[in-house]
Amino acid sequence: MVFRPHELHPTRSNRDLYGWEMRAHRKRAGDMSLDQLTNVLDGFSKSHLARVERAASMPCARLSQALDAAFGTDGTFGRLYELAKKEKFPGKYRRAMDLEGRASIIEEYTSATVPGLLQTPGLARRSLQTGHPHASAQEIDSMLSARLDRQKRLCSNPAPRCWFILDEAVLRRPVGGSAVMRAQLAALVDDRRSHVTLQVLPFGAGEHAEMGGSLTLYTVPGNPLIAWVEGSHSGVIIEDPEGVAARRESYDLLRAQALSPRDSLAMIRTLMEEC
């Protein structure tokens, strides 16, 4: 099988432009491989450089300085980094994050983990480390900062009306260990924001259309309803009326099958004591 390098799109985002320039300068430097670049740079693995080049990871200031020194580019990568760091999320998630930032109503169902908007720093860090096992500590810190920054949206004025439905599995899986999970459950119980409603979908509800993933509905003023369906490593925006209507029905059924907000908090308190 002939190896085909990952296709880069320099006009898609500043992150992509950074990666495109990185590959272009490797090619100009005698078709330098990533292995060879790893030997030139100090402290950067091949896998890390590959993720940065394909815009899957955020570059950092130290890497930018090292690339400028290696290629003699007189601050080019430093300037690209200043642009790229303004884009906190990879391209495939940026549209969903934009919708989240503009929505007046956010309705979310999750089957595997606590929604990012509600995660404590401890659980968020552990989730990111598990989802990105080869990422450096600096990359994890950058992703954690971006995730926690999203939570400011819930304290904005006006804040969006939020409705979260959590599968029971979300509450029973001890992500990060019992101490981290107990702190997360306590944060859910202690959340007194009147514009945030929380429900638990118990195992007893049985099967449903959204098993194994997550579903979010965004109501953005002046726009039709938009759905975001996400798996463990991918997500898709749904805008066609039939597709959105099907997700609207799914969410409404999940809400009807879930425990009441009061009973949901009671269940979370019980599980918290079991941690």
Taking the C-alpha atoms of residue 46 and residue 215, their distance in angstroms, rounded to an integer, is 35
Q: How many CB atoms lie within 10 A of CB 48?
A: 22
Q: Which of 47, 70, 99, 36 lies closest to 236, judged by CA?
A: 99
Adjacent-strand bridge partners of 163: 107, 197
CB-CB contact of 149 with 142 (8 Å): no
* Predicted pLDDT at 85: 75
What burial class does residue 185 get, using C-beta atoms within 10 Å of its C-beta: 0-12 exposed, 13-18 middle, 19+ buried? buried
Q: Measure CA 25 to chain center.
A: 30
For 254-267, b/e burial (b = at least 16 CB within 10 A) is beeebbeeeebbeb
* Predicted pLDDT at 21: 95
* Predicted pLDDT at 196: 96
Listed in sequence order, the residues at least 6 apart from 4 whose beta carbon sits closer than 8 Å to its beta carbon are none
Per-residue pLDDT of the chain (275 residues; tens, 9 = 90+): 444 567 787 887 888 899 999 999 999 999 999 999 999 998 888 988 998 898 877 788 889 999 999 999 999 999 998 888 766 666 667 778 888 989 999 999 999 899 999 999 999 999 999 988 888 888 888 889 888 989 999 999 899 999 999 999 999 999 999 999 999 999 999 998 999 999 999 999 988 888 878 999 999 998 899 999 987 667 888 999 999 999 999 999 999 999 999 999 999 999 998 87
